[in-house]
Amino acid sequence: MVQSRDHIEEKYVRKHILIIAILLLTLFGCVHYEEELWLNRDGSGKAKLVLIHRSANENPDEILKKAELNGIHLQSYSIKRNGPNVIYNVQFKFDSIEAFNNVNDQVGNADFWGKITLNKEKGRRITFKRRISLGDQEDVDDFEMLMRSTITDHPTWSYKIHLPWKIISTNAEEANIDRNGRTITWNYDTEQLWNKTEYMTIELEKPFPWLLVVLGGIIGILVIFSLFWLMRIARSSHLLDWMHHKNSDS
């Protein structure tokens, strides 16, 4: 089948856009990313991150811009340069998972921030999922593979999360799971992550609400005791009335 001229031109433009993107990624280097996340029971939390990016310019304005987002509270940040690399250290609090997701600031094809979902399941179960990706997820051709081979620096993306609930299962390596401390760590080599989407998954369980059971028991006992006491008062009142009527008759 003969391809139309418009279709050929579209493929030509897309390939050149892809070439430019890969060249930029090669020139400016991949992103090294470290994140430590503390999650609260209500979905709020705090984050501490280190981002190392090869760039000719520092960009504090972008950090301050993100700090103005709803539900984001910047606590501290610093920017340092080490040779061609710019090192960002940022700490902030967030009011909800939605607010955290809105910070997403994808650098080129490096979506190290991704997206988090936190869902309530049946019973006391909760599922956590986070998606990250690197590279083009669709058109992978020989030229792109050639350009990829020219990148010799393969930084890592590291994620550590502190959880408020019991860990039931996760796709992290067992050596990176602290069940007593309720922390999990994932490490990704960007060379292996290229043109892939990865997921961090956790199945969690809320503790049994013993406090509510105890409070409910106490309230139940008080109600029963109150009813018993009212019944005794009522009986005493009837007895006094009977004695009064008996004395009157006599």
Q: Are residues 197 and 214 in the same domain?
A: no
Q: Are residues 147 and 35 in the same domain?
A: yes
Q: What is the DSSP string of 169-222?
A: EESS-GGGEETTTTEEEEEEEHHHHBTEEEEEEEEEEPPP-HHHHHHHHHHHHH
Q: Has residue 88 got a pLDDT over 70?
A: yes
User: pLDDT band at residue 8, thresholds of 50, 70 and 90?
Assistant: low
Q: Are residues 81 and 191 in the same domain?
A: yes
Do the bridges between strand 31-39 and strand 45-54 make them parallel or antiparallel, or are there none, so unpaired?
antiparallel
Q: Are residues 104 and 218 in the same domain?
A: no
Q: Has residue 243 got a pLDDT over 60?
A: no
User: pLDDT band at residue 245, thresholds of 50, 70 and 90?
Assistant: low
Bridge partners of 131, per DSSP, are 115, 199
Q: Has residue 25 got a pLDDT over 50?
A: no
Q: Are residues 139 and 247 in the same domain?
A: no
Q: Are residues 41 and 117 in the same domain?
A: yes
Q: Has residue 185 got a pLDDT over 70?
A: yes
Q: Are residues 199 and 218 in the same domain?
A: no
Judge whether 17 and 139 are in contact, CB under 8 Å. no
Q: Are residues 38 and 102 in the same domain?
A: yes
pLDDT of 22 = 45
Judge whether 74 and 48 are in contact, CB under 8 Å. no
- Identify which has the larger pLDDT, 184 or 242: 184
Could you tell me the residue range of the domain that residue 234 belongs to? 210-250
User: pLDDT band at residue 78, thresholds of 50, 70 and 90?
Assistant: very high
Q: Give the chain's domain count.
A: 2
Mean pLDDT in the chain?
80
Q: Has residue 153 got a pLDDT over 90?
A: no
Query: Is residue 181 classed exposed, middle or buried when 0-12, 13-18 and 19+ CB atoms within 10 A define those classes?
Result: exposed
- Identify which has the larger pLDDT, 148 or 226: 226
User: Taking residues 216-233, what's their average pLDDT?
Assistant: 72
Strand ranges across the sheet with 110-120? 110-120, 125-134, 196-205, 166-170
Q: Are residues 222 and 189 in the same domain?
A: no
- Identify which has the larger pLDDT, 55 or 16: 55
User: Taking residues 232-236, what's their average pLDDT?
Assistant: 66
Q: What are phi and psi of 143, to 5 degrees?
A: -65, -40
Q: Are residues 61 and 133 in the same domain?
A: yes
- Across 26-40, 143-157, 191-205, 232-246, the highest mean pLDDT is recorded for 191-205
Q: Report percent pLDDT > 90 for the chain.
A: 47
pLDDT of 116 = 96
Q: Are residues 112 and 151 in the same domain?
A: yes
User: Taking residues 137-158, what's their average pLDDT?
Assistant: 57
pLDDT of 31 = 80
Q: Any idea which of 164-173, 205-214, 230-239 has the lowest mean pLDDT? A: 230-239
pLDDT of 27 = 40
User: Taking residues 37-55, what's their average pLDDT?
Assistant: 94
- Identify which has the larger pLDDT, 242 or 198: 198
Q: Are residues 34 and 125 in the same domain?
A: yes
